[in-house]
Amino acid sequence: MRVFFLLFIMFSSLFAFDSVSATEERHLVELDESPDAFIEKLDRYHPYIHVLNTFDTLLQAVAIEGKPHQIERVLEEQAVKRVFPVVDYTASYQLADTELISDSYLDLELGYTGKGIKVGIVDTGIDYTHPDLKGNYKGGYDLFDLDDDPMETQPEEGMPTLHGTHVSGIVGANGTFKGVAPDVDLYAYRALGPGGIGTNLHVIAALEQAVKDGMDIINLSLGNTINGPDWPTSTAVNRAVEKGVSVVVANGNAGPEDWTVGSPATAEQAISVGASTKSYTKPELELLKNHQRIELLELPNAKSWDLTRDYRLTTDPNDASEHILLVDPTEQNFLETLEKIKPSGLLIEHKPDESIEALLHLQTPFPVALISEESAESLRQDEGLWLRTHHNEIDNEVASFSSRGPVTASWAIKPDIIAPGYNILSTVPDGYQALNGTSMAAPYVTGVLAILKEANPDYTPEQLKAALLTGASPLKTHAPIEQGAGEINAEASLETDLLIENAHLSFGIKNEHNEEQTHILKVTNVSDQPIPFEIKRPRTQIGKRWDIPKRVIISPNETIELPIRLTVTQPKSADDSYQGYLTTETDNKNYQLPYLWLNQIDDLSFIRGIEFEPSIQDPMTYHFSLQLSEPVETLVIDALDPQTLQHQATLYHQEKVDAGLYQDSCQLPDDGSYLINVTVVKNQKQESHQFMLEKIKDKN
């Protein structure tokens, strides 16, 4: 059973303003005109609206705050293009499962160190006083305190953070610990505050500031769970790349299920990074009663889970001796209790919405591990049962927590690449620590990208990405939507003679019986010798035909475009996807290009993120928004009687709705409680989502 321990705490302040009132709302408003022109209208016609921030570098947008009925009037302005809620972004990671490992994997010895390359870390800030970071730290900005001091959150300011310092160390620490590119110029942009939480407004503002400051590369080890290519942070990332800045984004820690990649890793032009593991040993508990296995996540400063015999389970601290004790850390006097007990092992229940910061430095003479809320509840049903410890040897693979693709609506292959993200030792305030997560994999790629940029200062972001992906090597047991081009190989990327752009062959989703899609591959010879290039035809499969270009000779410094056509003639397949790797050959090197064709997927939800809110001006009017993973033929919203399920009214009906974020409003028939039924139809497939709308109070 998978267990995730993510840093998560609700944080209510935004930029330098006070916490928002329960009667006020915040929105990000994308515009068809300049923010300055729109603000003039706000000053003239909507003086009660508070402008939180303006965006004019990557987006034409404003962030506004006001009472709901005031916001409604603003959104009626003709210049409003799209409206987005203010949502949380988190810095998420897991504690390392085992003892701290060597940092030798960072010592690449490639002859380049990232010297002179400006890298912006958009994160929780940085401990720039750390002896391994202070030499390379050059500046930055704090988007919470609105000053040029992006220090990590300190204890007196709220829940302290360490994530940005850890990420910065992987990229460019230079001291006792050395990062991938130990001579980069590090800049920190604090977009996540106490507890590692910020909003899309903080992230976009940080991106804009980093672009204005002339960063060569920006690292975003953060994200949310919204799988869609048109979310504003994803749009901002794409536009940063268009302005000449490479952007590396963590793919997320919501795996191992498909479709779990979140924004901004969904951005087409981002370098989205999944996490790979090395070989390691992982402890598990076996319930001897039924042989069920429970995963354990060890705490780094506690004694390792090295139990060699069976122990009984207890939840009573007074009966902990010679037992494995299960505790809830939210109970009163939890830390004081730990000082008085001596169990053989301690299991701490962890709920997804609780922070683990307080446990990071927990030191005990007995083994300690975190388990999921679900596992803890299961154990409490059988107090007194016997538990046995097992240690599993894990091979190098895509980490189970690493989010998978593809991206909804665009059907893009994500992640683009994978990199080490398990047991990653790096700098933290006051020392060093090992953490797990795609947050740790992304800065590894950022460091390698800095090396490539130093070696090839004239490369565009597209060429740097091509070099990175061209040198990657796929793991044999994983599919493209799990690893993209494969595991990073810095040396191969640095030495490649070919740059293969547009190397992810995403053919979209099959909608017709006979469907043909063409993908254009762009290949550049950056050597001083002609290079033969041939794409090997995949093995024949019924209903699928590849049209592959013939072998070509690419002259020095020549760029060619090669069309690759896939035709699918079979009826609807039982398989959700057709994916794998095309092999390309030169005289001395093979390259693997991931491809993906999606069937009409039965288990993919068309609808995500439904929001349904009443209008303040008219309580019978409700505004709604939802995210569609692909275009649908029909969208219908009905009101049903919650007791009899009889149809009361059709609130909304729309034909031919495009994929992406969809927003509109509808009218209720009368006061009362309703079961709201949202239905979409495509290709005779119907999907419905239902939720209760409680009785509207009498307006009088």
Average pLDDT on 603-632 reads 78
The token pair at 115 is 């010297």
pLDDT grade, residue 601 (50/70/90)? Answer: low
Dist CA 9 CA 201 (whole Å): 17
What is the model's pLDDT at position 255?
87
Q: How would residue 15 be classed by pLDDT, with cut points 50, 70 and 90?
A: very low
Q: Which band of pLDDT confidence, cut at 50, 70 and 90, is reported for residue 287?
A: very high
CATH 2.60.40.2550 fits 607-693, yes or no: yes
163 vs 190: CA distance, rounded Å? 11
Q: What pLDDT does 101 receive?
A: 42
| pLDDT confidence of residue 253 | 92
Distance (Å, rounded) from C-alpha 162 to C-alpha 430?
10
Report the chain's mean pLDDT, rounded to a whole number: 87
pTM exceeding 0.95: no
Q: In what order do the strands lie in the sheet with 80-85?
A: 50-55, 61-66, 25-31, 80-85
Instruction: Calculate mean pLDDT across residues 360-376.
Output: 84
Domain ranges of the chain: 90-278+397-492, 280-394, 497-598, 607-693
State yes or no: pLDDT of 698 exceeds 60.
no
Top-confidence residue, 295 or 123: 123
Overall average pLDDT of the 89-94 stretch? 74
Q: Which two tokens mark 540?
A: 């024949």
97 pLDDT above the threshold of 60? no
The per-residue pLDDT for 36 is 95
Beta bridge partners of 436: 94
pLDDT reading at 142 higher than 60: yes
CB count in 10 Å sphere of residue 552: 15
Least confident range from 300-304, 365-369, 448-452: namely 300-304
* Average pLDDT over every residue of 266-278: 95
Token code pair at residue 492: 């191969």
Percent of the chain at pLDDT exceeding 70 = 89
- For 368, the enclosing helix (H) or strand (E) is strand 368-372
Which of 270 and 632 is assigned the larger pLDDT?
270
How is residue 521 written in tokens?
A: 């591959």
| Residue 194, preceding peptide bond in cis (omega within 30° of 0) | no
| Mean pLDDT across 479-498 | 97
Q: Does domain 90-278+397-492 have CATH number 3.40.50.200?
A: yes
Share of the chain above pLDDT 90, in %: 58
* Residue 278, pLDDT score: 77
Helix (H, G, I), strand (E, B) or coil at 481: helix
Place of tokens 């939180």: 52
Q: Which residues of 648-665 are buried (b: 16+ CB within 10 A; e: fewer)?
A: beebbeeeebebbbbeee
Enter the tokens of residue 646: 């009889």
What does R_g of the chain's alpha carbons equal in angstroms?
A: 27
Which whole number is the average pLDDT over 455-468?
98
Contact of 241 with 247, CB cutoff 8 Å: yes
- Please write the tens of the pLDDT for every residue from 629-645: 778 899 999 998 887 87
Nearest to 224 by CA among 445, 412, 6: 6
Mean pLDDT of 312-319: 91
Residue type at 95 in one-letter notation: L
User: Where is mean pLDDT largest: 128-132, 302-306, 626-630?
Assistant: 128-132
Q: Which H/E stretch holds residue 55?
A: strand 50-55
495 SS3 class: helix
Give the tokens for residue 685: 């497939």
Q: Which residues make Cβ contacts (< 8 Å) with residue 643, sequence separation at least 6?
A: none
Q: Which two tokens stand for residue 155?
A: 């204890």
pLDDT(448) > 80: yes
Least confident span in 15-24, 103-112, 666-675: 15-24
Please tell me the predicted confidence (pLDDT) of residue 551: 96
Residue, of 361 and 441, whose pLDDT is higher: 441
Tokens of 524: 């550049």
What pLDDT is attached to residue 20? 45
Q: Average pLDDT in the 340-344 region?
A: 89
Q: Which two tokens stand for residue 314?
A: 């207890």
The stretch 68-87 carries a mean pLDDT of 88
HEC profile of 424-466: EEEEECCEEEEEECHHHHHHHHHHHHHHHHHHCCCCCHHHHHH
From the list 476, 426, 429, the residue with the least C-alpha distance to 169 is 426
Instruction: Considering only residues 271 and 3, tell me which one the structure prediction assigns the higher pLDDT.
Output: 271
- Tens of pLDDT, residue by residue over 46-70, are 999 999 999 999 999 999 999 988 8
**Starting at the edge strand that comes first in sequence, how are the strands of the sheet with 544-547 ordered?**
498-501, 515-525, 559-568, 544-547
pLDDT confidence tier of residue 699, bands split at 50, 70 and 90: very low
Contact predicate 423/96, CB 8 Å? yes
Q: Are 497 and 531 in contact (CB under 8 A)?
A: yes
Which range, of 20-29, 124-133, 513-522, averages the lowest pLDDT? 20-29
Tell me the three-class secondary structure of 630-670, residue by residue: CCEEEEEEEEECCCCCCEEEEEEEEEEECCEEEEEEEECCC
SS3 570: coil
The larger pLDDT score, comparing residue 631 to residue 112, is at 112
Distance CA 206, CA 143 (A): 7
Residue 562: pLDDT over 90: yes
Check residue 372 and give its pLDDT.
Answer: 86
Q: What is the DSSP string of 290-339?
A: TTEEEE-EE-TTSBP----S-EEEE--GGG-TTEEEEE-TTSTTHHHHHH
Q: What CATH fold (topology level) applies to the domain 497-598? A: Immunoglobulin-like (2.60.40)
The catalytic residue positions are 123, 163, 439
Domains 497-598 and 607-693 share a fold: yes
**Which amino acid, 425?**
L
Measured CA to CA in angstroms, residue 179 lies from 166, 230, 445, 584 at distances of: 10, 33, 11, 33
Checking if the pLDDT of 45 tops 70, the result is yes
SS percent in the chain: helix, strand, coil, step 5:
15, 35, 45
Return the CATH number of the domain spanning residue range 280-394: 3.50.30.30
